[in-house]
Amino acid sequence: MERVVLHVDANSFYASVEVLYHPELRGRAVSVCGDPEERHGIVLASTREAKRRGVKTGMAIWQARQVCPELICLRPHYDLYIHFSKLIRAVEEGWTDRIEAFGLDENWLELTERGMTMARGARIADQIRLRVREELGITVSVGVSFNKILAKLGSDMKKPDAVTVLDAESWRGKVWPLPAADLLYVGPATRRRLMRLGVFTIGDLAAAPPETLVRAIGKNGLMLKAFACGLDDSPVRRVGVEAQIKSVGNSATAPRDVRTAEEARCMCYLLAESVGARLREGGFRCGQVTLSARTAELEISSHQLLLPRPVNSTGEIGAAACRLFRERFSESLPLRSLGLSCGRLVPKQAPVQVELFGEERRARVEALDTALDELRRRFGHRVAERGVVLADGAFAAVNPKEEHLIHPVGFLGG
């Protein structure tokens, strides 16, 4: 039985929704941008007219206006985007209940069943494309293939308002000449490492020796090589089936660039307050802490630390984050933002190896954290704050627990 997977990607989603509500902006260079006063002043989405003039997602607003002086910048309205995301999904549910989100504007659809063919899948993709355009007023591009990775690549190949089929016979000829950066999870840093190896295209990546890739980019090199070879058997989850929670995290943009170790320590504990509270709320402990940082040049890196035993206390998570900063990021200052994630989750009730000394103190700390969680739930986040964050009023004003930006769901389920 032939597997048929669609990837439906709404074109310039945020900008397209905004133009629906501002028809006078149709045909003009428009970008949806974060709030520069809160240092989220980057481009989130743009109309085709803005893209043609060189505006790219992730650009700072001032950079976008340099390449496109006539650019119109709008603030995001996430409630509208969530509403339209649900409407698109309702259209897709007319064909299958096996739908998996990849952010607000992208979904995978599993069509595999007896009698399904790639040609029939392409016809269904075209029907979805037409219905979304006629009923909702926005356009989508759809990739049709035999796995999720190639279906996503197909939806990126032809935009806007198009269907691209990558079947078993034709996909290599269409995909291998493309730049390696077009493949999912080949970001700027990985692209530079691959270029140093002489790997420029997806075909080069498919042909690269696995041991060379592992030396250059670690075990993810094997995953990327498999993707380049068209190998991906990951399933599409059915509607209503939630992925197992594998990590809990938050990130926050600092009110100004983090330039000192003390400011970084403040941000680490702010994030630990948020992540620790969410772990306790979910009934988890974590065995791994990951700290990520974005530099003033918007380059991102991350490092992990395994903990000797699962924890959910703010103090222990914050201390681990600070250790990661000292060991891995202290030479990277200044930093624009930090992110903290806790993985290797286990239920709070799961048995752990007790310590001969310190167990009573640990129980008192956890009870204090729980009491603070309840106080903040009733009276707000700032009813009680750690001394470390009060050294600077600007940093103390950051509340990462409420800074939930809408972002893609990780393909790997992390």
Q: Which residues are catalytic?
A: 106
Name 242's Cβ contacts closer than 8 Å, sequence gap at least 6: none
CA separation for the pair 275, 347 (Å, rounded): 15
Tokens of 198: 């002489």
CA separation for the pair 302, 293 (Å, rounded): 6
Strand order in the sheet with 30-33: 43-46, 30-33, 72-74
Name 225's Cβ contacts closer than 8 Å, sequence gap at least 6: 205, 206, 208, 210, 213
Q: Which stretches within 283-358 are classed as H helix?
A: 314-324
Place of tokens 């239920």: 347
Tell me: cis bond preceding 160? Omega within 30 of 0 counts: yes
Compute φ and ψ for 247, nearest 5 degrees.
-155, 160
CA separation for the pair 400, 371 (Å, rounded): 19
